[in-house]
Chains A and B, each alone.
Chain A
Amino acid sequence: MLNWLYLHFRAFVLALKRLGKQPFGTLLSALVMGIALALPAGGYVLLDNVSALARGVSGAPEISIFLNNDVDFAQIEAVRRNLENVPHLADFRFVSRDEALKQLEESGLGDVLGGIPANPLPDAFIVTLQSDDPELFEVLKAEMKDWPDVAHVQLDSAWVKRLAALLELARTMMLALSVLLGFALVIVTFNTVRLQILTQKNEIEVSRLLGATDRFIRRPFYWFGGLQGVLGGLIALGAVWGGIEALREPVAKVAEAYGVMISLSGPDWRESLALVGIAAALGWLGTAI
């Protein structure tokens, strides 16, 4: 076990040396990988921000729960308690029938109800969710409809669905782009490793004559490919952060003009680690083929 670790450590050092021996070539390949990775990574970050932005501009998607006409205070409280137990809720507020009527009159539509003596509007709860997943909306709607004293549940789900579909489409396209660029990355690594093998040809042959196994010979090249991937990943990360920094101010200005609060957020440490890890894995893969 110790010996195995030592052999890997040795291969790691050897790979580092080989990378260091040709800093220009290393930098160039790492840049290519970095750019290839930065495109989809930046795309995802942008998508994340767009979802947040869309929510901010258009208001969060809502569910309206209309109660039966003859509910009393205790029944309203029962619905409120039910709501408090629903997961994924961002917020909810109660709109009484009187309030609704007042709002209607203020909006100048009061005349519509002019001929009706009693207030025909129901009491209602307006619920906002933390998620914009349309499925969750449907599930909650079905659930709420069965609550006692609930007459009708309405989603502004067409809007939610449209936005979700758009974002989904963008995500799919980004995924396709990632796969494509991932391929390119594997090929870039494959090529640099192949060049490495050519320059190390003598050493490989001599090692074979001295009884080296294939695994022993391949080990430094795996590290080489993996390390190159890590470098590429770090460059991509830098590019994404740089891009966000550059966009931050103009976006803030636009947001201000619309009167909404938006701040761009970059990848967190877990996403960053995943990016570098994926890059390393791709480098490793490029070596394996």
Chain B
Amino acid sequence: MIIFDSVTKNYPGGYVALDGINLEIAPGEMVVLSGHSGAGKSTLLKLIPAFERPSSGIVQINGQNVSSLSRRAIPYVRRNIGVVLQETRLLFDRSISDNILLPLVINGHPPGEAGRRVSAALERVGLAGREKEFPAGLSGGEQQRVAIARAFVNRPSILIADEPTAHLDPAYASEIAGLFGSFNEAGVTVLVATHDISLFRYWSPRQIILDHGRILTEQ
């Protein structure tokens, strides 16, 4: 369960990115977040793994108030949340498999099991056999898929993706949307920010439209 309770977020300079957000997301739900550029989609998503802290209000995950967590406690919350950011943030000096391995190492998985999981994740995103290549040699869509593999390799119960299909041609885009659909079918709570809701129609997700930091409509 993810709960936003009267959450506002002001960035330095006084800009109000989120303004009184109230929201409850049940486990296993699939939510698609849309809205104009600058509406606050990225900001809302970043509050969940505590990449950003709310200026006021409370963000709760499974009963835990992440907006007031100590610096020491935050890493353990993040390990249960898979995140794909707008910028893929891959490590370009590491091989594809090392990139995907990183969250498993951080989580302290033994090397053997971690290796098997990385192979399975690569298979899942259609990059099997390319583990030794480096991100720089991949297309934008392929890099996006590596970032997605890195987000779910740890089997998080919550998966967050910020415009994972931006800048992709339609074929790639629907393929990636399909990946998130299948994670959700496996029971993962999925939140996706996107400009293209139609990609996710097939899974009839809950739709939330943001406008200037407020929830405009919900269906």
Contacts and interface: CB of A to CB of B under 8 A. Distances in A.
Contacts of B90: 206
B78 A209 contact: yes
Interface residues of A, number: 18
Given A202-B91, A212-B75, A207 B102 contact: yes
* Interface bracket on B: 20 to 34
**Per DSSP, are chain A's interface residues mostly helix, strand or loop, or mixed?**
helix
B106 A210 contact: yes
A208 B83 CA distance: 12
Interface stretch (B21-29, B107-115, B120-128, B176-184): B107-115
Interface in B126-156: 150
A216 B103 CA distance: 12
B79 A206 contact: no
A202 to B, nearest CB: 7
Contact of A211 (B71, B72, B89, B107): B107
Contacts of A7: 105, 108
A211 B108 contact: no
A205 B85 CA distance: 13
Interface string B59-74: 0000000000001100
A211 B102 contact: no
A10 interface: yes
B76 interface: yes
A7 B49 CA distance: 24
A165 to B, nearest CB: 54
A146 B106 CA distance: 73
A129 B32 CA distance: 90
A58 interface: no
Interface string A1-20: 01100110010000000000
5 contacts: A6-B111, A202-B89, A209-B85, A210-B150, A211-B78
